[in-house]
Amino acid sequence: MIKLTRIDDRLVHGQVAFTWTPALGVDCLIVANDKVAKDEFMKMTLGLAKPAGTKLLIKSLKEAAAFLNDEKNKGLKILLIINSVKDAAVMATEVPEIRSINIGGIRLREGAKLISKAVGVNDEDITTIRDLLNKGVELEIRQVPTDNKQMVVNLI
């Protein structure tokens, strides 16, 4: 069962390990990212950041979708972490269980504008966000679980 789907370009870090994981009671972190799935150094680095006693799986988008759609994995309490709006849209299309996406952090980059203190989006992101909203997917911004939800529809 997916407890939370989170977009965070830092993937696994302190907020994920020490606030989200215990608050959600998750026992499995899944990083869905095609590039990281092929990068042994990044996999090792993310493994060092995971909380003790929590399983970390790093999979391509296709592999992650297959894993999440497999009935035998439904007993896991999963925090799904994706690093971009584009990849989140792929996962939401491939995994029907994803009906809500938390945006925790997307660093400002060329062509992007801040819609909250930790989320920068560009025009392509906004188009993808609108597509997700039109499909009935809730999009909200919170860095940590105790923050109030900011609904993305009100910020773009």
Q: What is the DSSP string of the chain?
A: -EEEEEEETT-SSHHIIIIIHHHHT-SEEEEE-HHHHT-HHHHHHHHHHSPTT-EEEEE-HHHHHHHHH-GGGTTS-EEEEES-HHHHHHHHHH-TT--EEEEEEB---TT-EEEETTEEE-HHHHHHHHHHHHTT-EEEE-SSTTSPPEEGGGT-
13 assigned to active site: yes
The pair of three-digit structure tokens given for residue 103, joined into one six-digit string:
């945006």
Instruction: Choose the catalytic residue: 1, 2, 7, 13.
Output: 13
User: Which residues have a catalytic role annotated?
Assistant: 13
